[in-house]
Amino acid sequence: MKEKEEKILEKYKTIFAEEFEGANLDEAVKIAVSSLKMAKDELAIKILFEGEPGLFGLAGNKPAKIKVAPKTDKLESLIKYFIIKLLGFIKEKISFIEVKIEGKKVEIKVLLEYDDVIKNLLNENIKKSVFLLLESFIKKINSEFYIDLKFQKLNR
């Protein structure tokens, strides 16, 4: 990875950080992973507060609090995080996002639970807008990258 890329990625790490709470640390991490649709190993997790159990060790006097950001050592994780934020308006319908970088090609597959609402939301104008925003973000990291973005229906 180029030095310029590393500096840009480090900047995004602080910009993209979010806080999550849970009854304990494990629950806070599960909530973050579920909300961001990312694997735990794709995230940098910082413990802000371990929480305090309630009476007799029951959940809840003070919740655990963590700060989460995509790991910047892996560009794919940062791109995935950006897509989740970009598609926040349909995040509940996203089943899986796969990002592969091979040479200068950034291949992105977004697997969705399609229904009529999603079909209408993802019309050609929205797809073009998402593509342009994503392309702008990725080109800031490396101007030589080009994108292959696909939305696919989840088969059930």
In this structure, the answer to whether residues 83 and 138 fall within a common structural domain is yes
Q: What pLDDT does residue 93 have?
A: 86
**Confidence band for 26, pLDDT divided at 50, 70 and 90:** very high
CATH number at residue 79: 3.30.300.20
Final residue of a domain: which of 70, 95, 114?
Answer: 70
Per the structure, the count of domains in the chain is: 2
Final residue of a domain: which of 22, 51, 70?
Answer: 70
Please tell me the pTM assigned to this model. 0.80
- Give the domain range for residue 44: 3-70
Q: Are 138 and 145 in contact (CB under 8 A)?
A: yes
**Confidence band for 120, pLDDT divided at 50, 70 and 90:** confident
